[in-house]
Amino acid sequence: MNENVLLSPEFQYFGADVFTNVYDGGRHIKMPQSIRILGFSNAEDPAIPQRHETYIFRREVLRDLLGFLRKPNNDALFITGPTGSGKTSSVCEVCARLNWPVQQLTLNSRFEFSQLTGHFTFSSQKPGETPQMRFQYGPLAVAMKFGHVLILNEIDLADAGELAGLNDILEGRPLVLTENAAEVITPHPMFRVIATANSSGNGDATGRYVGVQLQNLAFLDRFRYLRVNYQEPKIEEELLSLVVPTMKPVLGAMVKLANEVRQLFAEGRLSLTLSTRTLVRWAQIANDFRNSPNSLEYGLERALLIRAEPEESEAIVSLCRTVFGDTWSQESSSR
């Protein structure tokens, strides 16, 4: 790290106490107090992600993220894992605690490299002023200028030819904006690139993630990799208890059902899964309607079952009867 960065008032060191909810193997741990983590001193930048106090960090994921942010060694970071497992949220929650601004873009099959660099547009600097032709910087240009983290979500949905435009950037070279009088943007020392995807860039042999494309080997070679799976059952249950504490008696069964569904999805027996994101949604809806008949089934329908095929929906409900036992039957009979 450049010593000028370390001495600049723009930056500051944070202690380990900014990460309070850290778990390892289902066990809550305290981060070593000797750890000092470099971040930004300005907590008011609108590009800083929102911080959620109930977020639970996994030690191994947090370790790899902090290691990359501290010293990327000219690498970008590729985070892979199943849908809703916390790939993007883990990055945003770390950056939120370090006041590290983030630029995000979710890619798709129509992605063009110019979406990252910027374009000319008619705009006004202040409301009411006459619009003028100005160059609007894209998320890559902004991140490189000011040292933000650039998150490229669903990167495996984009065309490999368009992503090749990032190769020089990932090598640490400047960005040349030919459209803006060949402006040259030298990478800020705190500039980082993180990609997220359901695959590892080699396509989706399972066919479960529609639109995933095979990526160029030379492009993938510029990343270090991190796999983020679903939280361990104890941790997911703890997370749910922080979000919806009033439902604590049934949270263990909800997590058990989620893992049953995930296993069937992994075996190819279901075409959809119950991610951590969907699990939280289910718990929140059921909690909001906890005084209504069969709030558990009502919440599960709104969170997952309505988008399932009828036979798959019935299979999941059958699992619910097995997992929840009398709790599910009593709610159903009260309808």
Phi first, then psi: give them for residue 23, nearest 5 degrees.
-125, 150
Burial of 164 (0-12, 13-18, 19+ CB in 10 A): middle
pLDDT digits over 83-127, tens only?
999 999 999 999 999 999 999 999 999 999 999 999 888 777 778
| pLDDT given at position 335 | 40
| pLDDT given at position 25 | 83
Listed in sequence order, the residues at least 6 apart from 56 whose beta carbon sits closer than 8 Å to its beta carbon are: 21, 22, 23, 231, 235, 238, 239, 242
Helices (H), the chain: 3-7, 59-70, 87-97, 114-117, 139-146, 160-163, 167-170, 217-220, 233-243, 248-266, 276-288, 295-303, 310-324, 326-333
Listed in sequence order, the residues at least 6 apart from 328 whose beta carbon sits closer than 8 Å to its beta carbon are: 296, 297, 320, 321
Q: What is the DSSP letter of 183?
A: E
Q: Which CATH architecture does the domain made up of 3-111+139-227 adopt?
A: 3-Layer(aba) Sandwich (3.40)
Q: How many CB atoms lie within 10 A of CB 316?
A: 19
Higher-pLDDT residue of 237 and 334 is 237
Q: What is the DSSP string of 246-296?
A: GGHHHHHHHHHHHHHHHHHHHTTS-S----HHHHHHHHHHHHHTTTSTTHH
Phi first, then psi: give them for residue 304, nearest 5 degrees.
-145, -50
Phi first, then psi: give them for residue 100, nearest 5 degrees.
-95, 110
Burial of 24 (0-12, 13-18, 19+ CB in 10 A): middle
Distances (CA, A) of 281 to 184, 191, 285, 301: 45, 33, 6, 11
The answer to whether the CB of 149 falls within 8 A of the CB of 100 is yes
The answer to whether the CB of 60 falls within 8 A of the CB of 68 is no
Instruction: Tell me what the mean pLDDT of segment 254-274 comes to.
Output: 94
Assign 9 a pLDDT band (cuts: 50, 70, 90). Answer: confident
Max CA distance (Å), the chain: 71
pLDDT reading at 256 higher than 80: yes
Tokens of 160: 């490999």
Residue 191: closest CA among 138, 137, 151, 136: 151
SS3 35: coil
pLDDT reading at 3 higher than 50: no
Rg (CA), the chain: 23
| pLDDT given at position 333 | 44
pLDDT reading at 36 higher than 60: yes
pLDDT digits over 199-239, tens only?
999 988 777 788 999 999 999 999 999 999 999 999 999 99
SS3 173: coil
Phi first, then psi: give them for residue 103, nearest 5 degrees.
-110, 130
**Beta-strand relationship, 223-227 and 76-80:** parallel
- The percent of residues in the chain predicted with pLDDT above 70, rounded, is 96
Helices (H), 43-184: 59-70, 87-97, 114-117, 139-146, 160-163, 167-170
pLDDT digits over 122-173, tens only?
777 778 788 888 899 999 999 999 999 999 999 999 999 999 999 999 999 9
Instruction: Write down the mean pLDDT value for the chain.
Output: 92
To the question of pTM greater than 0.95 for the whole model, the response is no
SS3 7: helix
Question: Domain locations in the chain?
Answer: 3-111+139-227, 233-333
| pLDDT given at position 133 | 86
| pLDDT given at position 330 | 62
Higher-pLDDT residue of 2 and 141 is 141
Assign 20 a pLDDT band (cuts: 50, 70, 90). Answer: very high
| pLDDT given at position 4 | 52
pLDDT digits over 291-331, tens only?
888 899 999 999 999 999 999 999 999 999 999 998 886 65
Burial of 83 (0-12, 13-18, 19+ CB in 10 A): middle
pLDDT reading at 63 higher than 70: yes
Instruction: Tell me what the mean pLDDT of segment 176-191 comes to.
Output: 95
Report the distance separating Cα 92 and Cα 52, nearest Å: 10
Report the distance separating Cα 55 and Cα 143, nearest Å: 25
| pLDDT given at position 127 | 83
